């Protein structure tokens, strides 16, 4: 009688364990995946706080008014306390145009660190983001110094 109760108890525990294993969702995560989290300032926004080498940084505008005029200035890190202007892009809300900004970089050190996006000529707050000095799993490019 006791053996039967023990066997039934073991079977019940096995069934419950199997059900938990089968029905528990398994999340596949990548160590190199960075979550999207839109950062906004006025009519401007970027899609993440952190980027890896090789990822594109998209600066979007929503509801840019015709009177909105100024300059978007990207400041790249020089060291822990100083930044320097990387690129400036004028904007005019009355002219709806697209732009791509690409500038050669000497090394990873020119990219990695905390960046600042300023909106000169507006009251918009700065947007801050970080570039991490490594690539995604899917990116097989090497970023070697060109200078």
Q: Residue 101: what pLDDT?
A: 67
Q: What pLDDT digit, counting tens, does each position of 6-50 carry?
A: 666 666 666 666 555 665 554 444 455 555 678 899 889 998 899
Residue 93 contacts residue 68 (beta carbons within 8 Å): yes
Task: Please state the pTM of the whole predicted model.
Answer: 0.67
Listed by start position, the domains of the chain span 39-132
Three-state SS for 72? strand
Going by the DSSP 8-state scheme, the letter that residue 11 receives in this structure is H
Looking at per-residue pLDDT, the higher value among 48 and 147 belongs to 48
pLDDT at 117 over 70: yes
Mean pLDDT of 90-109: 75
What CATH number matches the domain at 39-132, 1.10.600, 2.60.40, 1.10.3470, 1.20.1300? 2.60.40
């Amino acid at each position: 009688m006791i053996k039967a109760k023990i066997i039934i108890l073991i079977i019940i525990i096995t069934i419950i364990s199997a059900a938990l294993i089968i029905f528990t969702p398994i999340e596949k995560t990548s160590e190199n995946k960075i979550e999207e989290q839109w950062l906004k300032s006025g009519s401007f926004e970027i899609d993440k706080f952190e980027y890896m080498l090789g990822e594109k940084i998209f600066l979007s505008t929503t509801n840019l008014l015709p009177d909105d005029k100024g300059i978007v200035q990207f400041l790249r890190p020089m060291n822990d306390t100083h930044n320097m202007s990387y690129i400036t892009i004028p904007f005019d809300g009355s002219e709806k145009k697209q732009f791509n900004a690409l500038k050669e970089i000497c090394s990873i050190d020119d990219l990695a660190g905390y960046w600042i996006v300023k909106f000169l000529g507006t009251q918009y707050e700065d947007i801050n983001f970080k570039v991490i000095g490594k690539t995604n799993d899917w990116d097989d490019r090497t970023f070697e110094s060109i200078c």
